[in-house]
Amino acid sequence: MTSLPSDTPAIGARVTTGRRGQATALVIGEDGRETCLHSVYDPVREAESHVPGRLDAATIVFLGTGLGYHLLPTLALNPQVTRVVIVERYPGLAAIAAERISDPSLRIELVTGMIPGGFPPLPQGLDARTLRVVPHPPSLAANPSWYDHYQVAVATAGLPGGATGKSNRRGASLTVLVPFEAYYAQRECINGLRALGHRVITLDCRGREGEEAAIFRDAVTRDRPDLVLSVNMRGLDRRGVAAEMLRRLGIPLALWFVDSPEFILYGEAMPPPDACHVFMWDRGYIPAVSRQGYRVSYLPLAADTALVDAARFEERFRADISFVGNSLVSGFLARLAVKFPAGAEAMAFADRAIDRIIARRGDQLQVLDELIAQAGHFLANDEQRLFFRAFLLHGATSAYRTRLLQRLIPLGLTFFGDPEGWKKVFGPSINAHPDVNYFHETPAVYASSAVNVNATSLQMPHTVNQRVFDVPLCNGFLLTDRQGALFELFAEDEVAVYDGIGDAAEKALYYLERPELRGNIMEKARRRVLGEHTYGHRMGQLIADL
C-alpha cells in the first residue's frame, strides 16, 4: 500500500494522522467546509459500520472510499467478487484505497476526479441488475452533487431506458412502487391500487431519511416497476436523485399533493417537469405549479373502503354532535413562530390577518399573497415569508375551528381527540374523549354520532377533506362547511351544508331534530361515495391520466 506522510495533499484531499496515530482524510467539500472522512479516534472500528455483509453479486461498486478502510472487510465477506469498481471523488484517495486490495485475481477499476466537460464515465459492461453498491456515507455527504451523478449512473447502468409499454394498455395489471412512511393517504392509495388488481411494492422508508436514493436504486433494478407513486414527495430524496433514476429508465413518477405544495417543497428538489406528472388535491394550487412547466391534474381525496369493517354503532362513542380532530394548540404554531421575527408588530399583524383570511374563505390564497406583500418590511427573506405564511394559514384554521365549535358546545358537542388541548381552549367542563385510531375507531365514531361536524382547513380554498367521504361511507351523517368543489362531487340532496360560523349551530339543531332526513341524506351520499369516490376510483383516474 502507498502511504503518505502526515498532512500530505492527495489532490484535493489531505491525509493526516488521527489522535491515536491512524491515518484519516480531510477534504474541502462542496459547501466549502473542511470535512473529516474518518474517525480521528478509531477509523478502523468506524469502518465496520460501512461493511454491508454478504452480497449476492460478483461486481461491487464502492461509491466513495476515503482511505478505503472498509474495502478489505467487505471483500473478505464476499469471496465470490471478481470485479471492483472504485468511484471516488479524489484521485489520491482512490489510489490509496485501490492499493489496499492486494488480490491479483480481482479486476480493479477506478472512476475519479473530473474530466473536461463533466464526469469520468463508468467502466463498460456494468449492469445494475448484477452489481451491488457499497456507499461510504461521509464521502457522499462531503460531495453530494458529484456522487449524485454516479448514484444515477450506477442505478441505470446496462438497463434499457423507456417505458415498458404495459402502463399504456388500459386495464393492464401494473407493478406500482409506493415509498411508504405510514403517512396520510399512503395506505389508502395502496388499498385502492390493490382493489384494481395492481401489484403494489411498498418501500419502507420509515426512519431512513438520507437513504432514499439507495432504497430506490435497489428497488428499480430488482422490480422494474411500471409506475412510482409518491404522496406529498414522501420517500423521495431531497436532491432529486431517485427522480432522475426513474426519468432515465422511463418509469413514470406520479406526485400526488394532498397538502399545500409550497410548504412541502421547502428544501426539496422538485423533479424536472419531464420526469413526473403532478396531481393536486385542490385546484387552487394548480396554476402556480403549471407555470413551472409541470403537467398537473386535479385529483380530489376519496374514501378507503377498508374503513367499512369498523363502521358500527358503539355505545362508548354515542354523541348528538361530534367533532374528531386536534385543537392545534399543541405547540405547532409556536414552532412556526421561531422561523420569523415574531415580535409585537408581527403578532398584531397576524391577529388582523387571521380575521381577514377567515372572512375571505375560498379566496384565501390570494389574500395570503396580499398579506405577505404588506408584511414585507419585517420579513427579511423567502424563508421568513414562507413560515409567516404558514403561521397565518394555520393560525386562521385554528381560530376558525375554535369560533365554530364554541357555537356548538351548548348543543352538547362531544370532542374526540386531543382532550387536554380542547380543555385549554374551552375549559375543563367540555365533553372530550382521547384520540381515536383512524382505521379502527374513527369509523365507529362516525356511525355512532347523530351529527358529525366538519370544519375544512383553510389551506384548502376549494376542495373537500377526507371526512366528507369517510363519514357517509361509515354510515354517518355529515354537516360540513361549504366548499367550491363540494357540489362537483355530490348532488345537493346528498350533503348537509352550513354557511359560515353563525349558521353552524342552527343547521346542527335542525338536523338533530330530523333523524329521517339525516338517514336519507346519508344513504344517498354513501351510494355516491361507493359509486364514484373511493381510492380505487382515484387510482384508476391517476393511471388513466398518466
Same domain for 365 and 490, yes or no, is: yes
d(Cα 203, Cα 205) in Å, to the nearest integer?
6
pLDDT digits (tens, 9 = 90+) for 498-533: 999 999 999 999 999 999 999 999 999 999 999 999
3-state class (DSSP) for residue 379? coil
Same domain for 365 and 498, yes or no, is: yes
What average pLDDT does this structure show over 72-91?
97
Same domain for 135 and 171, yes or no, is: no
Q: Residue 405 sits in a domain of what CATH number? A: 3.40.50.2000
Domain ranges, residue 270? 166-299
Q: Does residue 58 sit within a domain?
A: yes
pLDDT digits (tens, 9 = 90+) for 22-45: 999 999 999 899 999 999 999 999
* pTM tops 0.85, yes or no: yes
What average pLDDT does this structure show over 388-403?
94
Among 104, 123, 156, the domain boundary falls at 156
Q: Residue 94 sits in a domain of what CATH number? A: 3.40.50
The mean pLDDT value of the chain amounts to 92
Q: Residue 291 sits in a domain of what CATH number? A: 3.40.50.2300
pLDDT digits (tens, 9 = 90+) for 357-372: 999 999 999 999 999 9
pLDDT tier at 11, thresholds 50, 70, 90: low
Same domain for 151 and 182, yes or no, is: no
Q: What are phi and psi of 234, to 5 degrees?
A: -65, 140
Predicted pLDDT of residue 170: 60
Instruction: Decide if pLDDT at 1 tops 50.
Output: no
pLDDT digits (tens, 9 = 90+) for 467-497: 999 999 999 999 999 999 999 999 999 999 9
pLDDT tier at 3, thresholds 50, 70, 90: very low
What average pLDDT does this structure show over 432-453?
97
Higher local confidence (pLDDT), 362 or 4: 362
Among 267, 299, 331, the domain boundary falls at 299
Predicted pLDDT of residue 206: 85
What average pLDDT does this structure show over 225-251?
92
d(Cα 516, Cα 518) in Å, to the nearest integer?
5
Amino acid at 135: P
Predicted pLDDT of residue 262: 87
Same domain for 230 and 309, yes or no, is: no
3-state class (DSSP) for residue 33? coil
Predicted pLDDT of residue 171: 65
Do 460 and 484 contact (CB within 8 A), yes or no? no
pLDDT tier at 376, thresholds 50, 70, 90: confident
Strands 23-28 vs 34-36: parallel, antiparallel or unpaired: antiparallel
Same domain for 269 and 347, yes or no, is: no
C-alpha cell at 509: 339543531
pLDDT digits (tens, 9 = 90+) for 153-198: 999 999 887 555 454 556 689 999 999 887 889 999 999 999 999 9
Strands 13-17 vs 8-9: parallel, antiparallel or unpaired: antiparallel
Q: Does residue 501 sit within a domain?
A: yes
Predicted pLDDT of residue 19: 86
